[in-house]
Amino acid sequence: MQSAFVSSIILIVAAVPEGLPTIVALSLALNMIKLAKENALIKKLSAVETMGAINVICSDKTGTLTENKMTLEKVVITKGNEEVFWQNAIINSNAEVLVKGKKEEFSGSGTEVALLKGGSAKYKVKKLREEHKILSVEPFDSTVKKMTTVISYKNGVRTLIKGAPEVCLKLVKEGTSTLTQIEGYEKKGKRVICFLHKDDAEFIFDGFAVLDDKIRKDAYKSVKTCQKAGIKVVMLTGDNLLTATSIAKDLNMVKKGDYLLTGDKIDSLTDKELKKILPKLSVVARSTPLTKLKIVKAYKELGFVVAVTGDGINDAPAIKQADVGISMQTGTEITKEASDVILLDNSFETIVKAVSFGRNVYENLQRFILFQLSVNLSAVLFITLSLLITGVAPFNTLELLWINVIMDGPPALTLGLESARSSLMDKKPIKKESNLCSKKMLFKIGVNGLFISTVLLLQLVFNFLGVEKEQSSSVLFTTFILFQLFNAFNSRELGLDSVLKNVKRNKPMLIVFLLTFIMQVVIVEFLSKPFGISPLPFIVWVKILALTLSIIVISEIYKLILRKRINKRGAKSVN
């Protein structure tokens, strides 16, 4: 009765993968630390894993895909209106000015600072602001797309307006030549700001400014990597449609048949109509907070895993709604609070790195499960069949404790330290409904478990290694341990790559493997009595090493055959 009870306890310990919660927490935590070094500050632990499943990124343009270093490229001023033009640019602004000696420094949005820098070449910014009393201000809003400031001027008041061309030109009787000229710049990816003023009854057109924000050098490669990885990148921007489309085309974000729309158009669509076009949506210009929120909700309802980037207060609702909300280091505190990830360098490339890390976390969990379940299956099969054949458990309590250390301790946990493979971003995103343990993994677990337990049973019954009877228990114990160590190496590669290809990439695992092997030698040769086993001759150690290495050799041969078959199929399809 006591023997049956002990055997049951042994089987329970062997069957339960109690190290899984530890490896999940460890893998997520370590990747959070790594991502922080890559300029992605993760606020929520679960966000690391979710990043690996992202298949849509709704990205802001300015500062993420572009450098956010706005430069004033050109100004086109109506004849005789130069003074009021720069008065508008300097006073009708929310940028701050700081005087240091004789030099003026500016802070604020890229657009505002670029305009102040242009105006400072002709006027003292601080002095001009002080000369005119501000009576009222209507700050720029993404819905009205303009900023209005009313100032005291001479014996009356002057209204200054600057904003989007499509809004400002409706307030004046400006010719089509001006609109054509503006559209010409917008088609080249430039941002155009129009300026108006009113002293009496009607607004007067004062001209426009052409600003340029260059595309980040890393954005080209990053967008291409996303597309290769099955991730759709959608640009949601406050810019004009022509400007946004030009930038999107430069980044190869637009394919034939894609939808390039304005926020107004999106807002006019029903949820059903929107969902129909979402798979081919590439650019949304003049998007408002409600537009962004509507798009994110629709993507999620269709089953997409969505990431949203932004930096302004208006971006916070969409960022909060997304599966992964990403804010910029330069963003507002409200936006950062709503986000899951903060980009310390504002770079789109960092998002791609975070996705790669997320995918790697998922694969590391798969590696651990592959190893753990292989060990568990081989242990349960061998222990059960040994009990049925001999009536005695093959491992005593101390041996089982040491086996459990191998299964759930450092040798197993180091699988969670595998670095991301270069092929990770060549694969499609992980589906939400995907099982952590795939059919291919189950096949490997079954084959490895059966192979290990079969070899151990053959040794138990037939003693094919030809060892002394008193060494039998020690041989079975050592063979099981070394099988699992070599099986851990097999578990490092989930695909068809050779285990030798990345053997040096996980140095902690190599160190732990060596230390575990040394500990096994110490246990067998110097602590044999407490463990109830016998020391082994050198030749037996050689035999056991050769036998247990077979699990790697067989796996490598199997993968080599599959690789050759795949290469032949590929060659035939090309021919």
Q: Could you tell me the pTM of the whole model?
A: 0.84
pLDDT(575) > 60: no
pLDDT at residue number 259: 96
Answer yes or no: is pLDDT of 186 > 90: yes
Catalytic residue among 60, 206, 213, 239: 60
pLDDT recorded at residue 571: 47
Contacts of 431 (CB under 8 A, 6+ apart): 53
pLDDT at 8 over 90: no
Of 38-52, 130-144, 379-393, 457-471, highest mean pLDDT: 457-471
Min mean pLDDT across 108-122, 258-272, 401-415, 545-559 is at: 401-415
For residues 112-150, one letter each, b for 16 or more C-beta atoms within 10 angstroms of the residue's C-beta and e for the rest, the string is: bbbbbbbbbeebbbeebbeebeeeeeeebebeebbbbbb
Tokens of 463: 């003693």
Two structure tokens written together for 212:
């340029």
Nearest-CA neighbor of 286 among 70, 110, 142, 163? Answer: 142
Tell me the pLDDT band of 574, cut-offs 50, 70 and 90: very low
60 is catalytic: yes
Flag whether pLDDT at 313 surpasses 50: yes
Domain 2-39+352-417+437-574 classification at class level: mainly alpha
Q: What is the mean pLDDT of residues 311-333?
A: 88
Q: What one-character DSSP code corresponds to residue 137?
A: E
What's the mean pLDDT in 124-132?
A: 92
pLDDT score, position 11:
58
What does the pLDDT look like over 474-514, one tens digit per residue?
Answer: 999 999 999 999 999 889 888 888 888 888 888 888 999 99
Contact 93, 209 (CB under 8 A): no
User: CA 258, CA 242: separation in Å to the nearest integer?
Assistant: 15
Residue 145 and residue 262 in contact, taking contact as beta carbons nearer than 8 Å: no
**Which residues make beta-bridge pairs with 100?**
103
Nearest to residue 192, comparing CAs of 73, 107, 311? Answer: 73
Domain ranges in the chain are 2-39+352-417+437-574, 56-66+215-346, 71-212
**DSSP tag of 470:** G
Residue 14 pLDDT exceeds 60: no
* pLDDT score, position 12: 62
Q: Quick one: pLDDT at residue 526?
A: 93
Q: Is the pLDDT of residue 456 over 90?
A: yes
Question: Residue 389 has which token pair?
Answer: 């054949």
Provide the pLDDT for residue 572: 47
Answer yes or no: are the C-beta atoms of 320 and 60 closer than 8 Å: no
Q: Is the pLDDT of residue 565 over 70?
A: yes
Mean pLDDT value across residues 214-224: 92
541: its two tokens: 């150690």
pLDDT for 1: 43
The upper half-sphere exposure of residue 314, i.e. CA atoms within 13 Å in the direction of its Cβ, equals 15
User: Mean pLDDT across the stretch 318-336?
Assistant: 89
Is it true that 2-39+352-417+437-574 and 56-66+215-346 share their CATH fold? Answer: no
pLDDT, averaged across the chain: 89
pLDDT confidence of 108, banded at 50, 70, 90?
confident
Q: Write out pLDDT tens, residues 419-446.
A: 888 788 888 888 877 777 888 889 999 9
- Convert the pLDDT of each residue in 259-291 to its tens digit: 999 999 999 999 999 999 999 999 999 998 899
Amino acid symbol at 525: E
From the options 2.10.109.10, 3.40.720.10, 3.40.50.1000, 3.30.70.3270, give the CATH code of 56-66+215-346.
3.40.50.1000
Q: Is the dihedral of CA 262, 263, 268, 272 positive or negative?
A: positive
CATH of 71-212, one of 1.10.10.60, 3.20.20.330, 3.40.640.10, 3.40.1110.10: 3.40.1110.10
Contact 59, 70 (CB under 8 A): no
